[in-house]
Amino acid sequence: MSNSNEAKASRNEYNIAVIPGDGIGVEVTAAALKVMEKVAAKHEVKLNFTELLAGGCAIDKAGEPLPKETLAQCQKSDAVLLGAVGGPKWDNLSGDKRPEQALLGLRGGLGLYANLRPARIYDELKAASPLKDTIIEKGIDLLIVRELTGGIYFGEKGRTTVDGYAAAYDHEVYNEKEISRITRTAFEAARKRRRKVTLVDKANILESSRLWREVVNKIAKDYPDVAIDYLYVDNAAMQLVKNPAQFDVIVTSNMFGDILSDEASMITGSIGMLASASLGEGSLGMYEPIHGSAPDIAGQDLANPLAQILSAAMLFEYSLGMAEAARDIEKAVKSVLGQGYRTGDIWTEGFEKVGTKKMGELVLAEI
Ligand SMILES: NC(=O)C1=CN([C@@H]2O[C@H](COP(=O)(O)OP(=O)(O)OC[C@H]3O[C@@H](n4cnc5c(N)ncnc54)[C@H](O)[C@@H]3O)[C@@H](O)[C@H]2O)C=CC1
Ligand SMILES: CC(C)CC(=O)C(=O)O
Ligand SMILES: [Mg+2]
């Protein structure tokens, strides 16, 4: 994986594919785009945004969750910013007709096998955490490196009958190449952090997890300066709540990473705070908050846009090589939290509650 904040050819113009998607995806993306424009101007870079259809809105307007033009345009872009897809309107659709298939199509189609999901707690939000005693003492700053284009989400699936009963199956298949490259991503990330990798698997029961252990052990020999340990996923879920400070980099499969990152988000305060970068071999990456389209709050100016704004920061850092622009955005977010502004999901007594738009404007004003 060549994505990094180092050694990038510097340019003054970039093409960004923008996929707002459905529900709050549209709202949080609008806020992030304004922040991106302003920070780009500050660094004398021009961003050309192309808005594209994917998800439920694409089903409605183009008859399919991922129109060919969307994937083709993303492939030609320097980076993709995605909101979220899905919602109850499309819940009765089956299998490959569902909006969520757009995500798998984009991730697979763009070769984005590594999904980085940093979970850190802002000092300003410690009081809002349900785990405030352990977290205030020890803090949280961990990175989930989730394999994104293999495993059960991409395996063969189908319906059959067993003993006359309706049955369904989803296959988890991983090969050595898929495990090796994500493991190297995790070890390289650990070298820039606190030099510890934890493999989360279910090797006491799953053959695919046993292959993960073999491959990870082999690769660990190339990184003698990085400590490695192993946890079964059920224990890892519990340890994340009990003592999140023990983790530096967690490397894991597609489904376990999906589930554990939602859990990690909550111990930092809210799912509305967690950003992600999906990366492959080149510099093209896709950036999205880890949350979904949140139909329960969509269209009400209630969504926290900070996860999407922080995803935009990761876009600057990993796809455009503009680490300073990323730091500008992160500092702006921290400053707004420091001034006491909160969306409903991170609000506690004594702070000022604001909506999606206002939170976006406050961050914008800090750039
Ligand atoms: N990357 C994507 O596009 C994803 C899409 N989905 C889709 O989204 C739809 C809803 O899925 P759910 O399971 O409800 O997960 P969700 O992440 O959309 O919402 C879970 C809960 O977190 C809250 N929440 C999420 N983001 C928030 C934000 N920025 N600010 C404040 N509160 C926030 C929601 O209000 C809800 O109570 C489904 O169709 C699902 O398939 C789910 C996860 C990821
Ligand atoms: C369709 C799902 C795999 C999306 C999701 O929950 C995620 O990527 O976090
Ligand atoms: Mg998820």
Q: How far is CA 232 from CA 73, 186, 210, 253, 328, in A?
A: 40, 18, 11, 12, 38
Q: Where are the alpha helices (DSSP H) in 172-285?
A: 176-191, 207-220, 233-242, 254-267
Residues whose CB is less than 8 angstroms from the CB of residue 141 and which lie 6 or more positions away in sequence, other chains included: 118, 119, 120, 121
The residues, ordered by sequence, that sit 6+ positions from 41 with a Cβ below 8 Å of its Cβ are: none
96 carries a ligand binding annotation: yes
Tokens of 253: 């499969």
pLDDT, position 95: 80
Per-residue model confidence (pLDDT) at position 1 = 54
Write the residue with the smallest CA distance to atom 23 of ligand 1: 294
The reported pLDDT for the residue numbered 6 is 42
**Residue 147 CB less than 6 A away from ligand 2:** no
Q: What's the pLDDT score for residue 96?
A: 84
Ligand 1 contact, 22 CB (< 6 A): no
Question: Structure pTM?
Answer: 0.94
Distance 291 CA to ligand 1 centre (A): 5
What ipTM was predicted for this assembly? 0.98
What pLDDT score does 337 carry? Answer: 97
Residues of the chain with CATH 3.40.718.10: 8-113+275-367, 130-267
Query: What separation, in Å, do the N-terminal and C-terminal C-alpha atoms of the chain show?
Result: 30
Instruction: Kindly report, residue by residue over 275-310, the tens digit of the pLDDT.
Output: 999 999 999 999 999 999 999 999 999 999 999 999
The architecture that CATH gives domain 130-267 is 3-Layer(aba) Sandwich (3.40)
294 labelled ligand-binding: yes
Q: Which ligand is nearest to the CA of 293?
A: 1
- Ligand-binding annotation for 91, yes or no, is yes
Hey, what are 225's tokens?
A: 């300066």
19, 82, 103, 147, best to mutate for ligand 2 pocket (most atoms within 8 Å of CB): 103
- Residue numbers in the chain where pLDDT is lower than 70: 1-9
Pocket test for ligand 1, best of 271, 288, 304 (most atoms within 8 A of CB): 271
Q: Ligand 3 centre and the CA of 99: distance in Å?
A: 14
Annotated binding residue at 170?
no
Q: pLDDT tens, 200-234?
A: 999 999 999 999 999 999 999 999 999 999 999 99
The CATH code belonging to domain 8-113+275-367 is 3.40.718.10
**Residues involved in catalysis:** 153, 202, 234, 258, 262
pLDDT at 235: 97
